[in-house]
Structure 1
Amino acid sequence: MPATLQSLSITAFKQAVDAGAIIVDTRPATVFTAGFVPGSISLGLEGSVAEWANALLPHQQALVLVTDAGSEAKSADLLAAEGFTKVLGYLEGGYEAWQQSGEEIDMIIDVEADELAMDLPFDENIVVLDVRRPAEFAEGHVVDAENVPLDEMADLVNIANIEEEQNVYIHCRSGYRSVIAASLLKRQGIHNIRNVLGGWNAIKAETRIKTEKSAAGDTKSTDTPE
C-alpha cells in the first residue's frame, strides 16, 4: 500500500469531506446500490475506472476512498496512474463500519426491465434517461428516452432540466455506467431515480417496451467497455 495512503477514522473521513474531498466508492456497482456513504461517486473496480475517473473527476481535488477490504491499494494505484495524486486515504472498516456506526446512508433503488414496462404506460412523470454513448443510443433506444452520455454528466448543465416531480429510470448497456450516473444525480440532490438492472440488454428483450432507432441508426458501434 502506498506510504501516503492513510486509514481514516469516520471522524477524519468526515472532516476530509467537509473540507471538500470527493468520496470515490470502488466497490462493485451491484453492492454500491444497496447502500453507500451519501455523496459518494461509484467507480467500481470491475469496470473502466481509469476512463470514467478521467471523464468525471477533477484531478486537482482531494479524494477519499470507500473500498472492499483488501482493495485499498489497488484503488489508490489505479487513480494515481491517471494523475489523481491527492488521495487522502480510505475509510477504515469500509462502508460496513460507517453503517454500523449509525451514520446516515443512501441507496439506489434497482428495478427490473419488466417494472419499467409496467410503469411506462401509466406514469406521466416518468423519464427514461439513457447514459450510453450517442452511437449506442442511435442503434436502439426506448421511445422518448433522453440521451445524456455519462461522460457529459460532469457538466451540471446537462442534468439541470431534471425536475423534482419526475420519476427517472436510468440505464446504460448492462448496468455499470448507470450506477455511476445515478450516484452523480444523487450527489446533486436528485433522489427520485431507479436503476434499471441489465440496462439496454434487458430492456430490448422486454417486448412490452417500445423502442426505436434514431436517424443515425445505421451507424455501427462496437461493444464499448462499461
Structure 2
Amino acid sequence: MALALAVSVLPAVAQATPAAVNPLSDTSARRPLEVGGIVQGGFGTGDRNDFKFLMLGGHAGKVLTSNVGPGLLHGNFEYAVEVFPFWQSYTPRFQRKLCTTNTSCSAPYTVGGTYTGVSITPILLRWNFSSSRRLVPWAQGGGGVIWTNHKYPPVGGPPYTTFNDGPSANTSVWNFTPQFGVGLHYFVRPRRSIDFGANAVHISSASIGDKNPGVNASVQFTVGYTWWK
C-alpha cells in the first residue's frame, strides 16, 4: 500500500513547479499561511537535568515578506503562534515541610512529580532560508507563557527552615518561556511538509512568585506535519 501511494504521489510532485511543491521558494506573488500539528519533548540541563517535558499542540504562521537577502541568508520572515493545550513536566519527588519557624515545622509531605498545564507562545519570529529545494531550514526566536496546575517548579526540602519551607517559600503557577530554535521543513507532497526542530527554552516566573528557581535551560525537540495555504 505504501508503494502504491508513493507511485501515485511522486509523479505529481515531479511535474509540479518548485513554488507549487514548496511555497517558500517564491513568495513574491503569494505569501503562504501554514497550519500544523506538533509534538514537543525534551529535558532540562545543568541542575535540572532530571526534569523531563512532553507537550502536544499546534503551530500557525504567516509569511510576511518576499524572499530577500544575499546568498545563504536568502529567505523570508514569518510571524507564528504556538499553542500547547497539553503540557507536562516530570520532576523528581522529594519531601518538604511547612515551617512557621526554623524549629517548628509540619510533618513531611511529598512534592514534585508530574505538573500539567497549558503553554502559549504568542510571539514567534522565524526566518525561513528559502530555496527551490524540498528542504527549507529555519531559525526562530520567541517568548511565551505557561500555566501549571500547581506552583512550578517545586522548591523546599532539607535543611528545613523558613527560608526553604516557610509560608512564603513558593514559586508560581505562571512562568515565562523566552526561547530560540532551529529546524527545517521537508516537503513530502505539494504544500505538505514534515517538520523537525530543536529549541533552547528558558522557564522563569520573572519573580512574580516568592521564589524564582526556574529552569535555566531546557533542550526540547519537535516533530510536526504542516499544511500550507
Larger radius of gyration: 2
Instruction: Please give the range of the TM-score, normalised by the shorter of the 2 chains.
Output: under 0.3
Q: Choose between structure 1 and 2: higher strand proportion.
A: 2
Question: Whose helix fraction is larger, Structure 1's or Structure 2's?
Answer: 1
TM-score with structure 2 length normalisation? 0.22
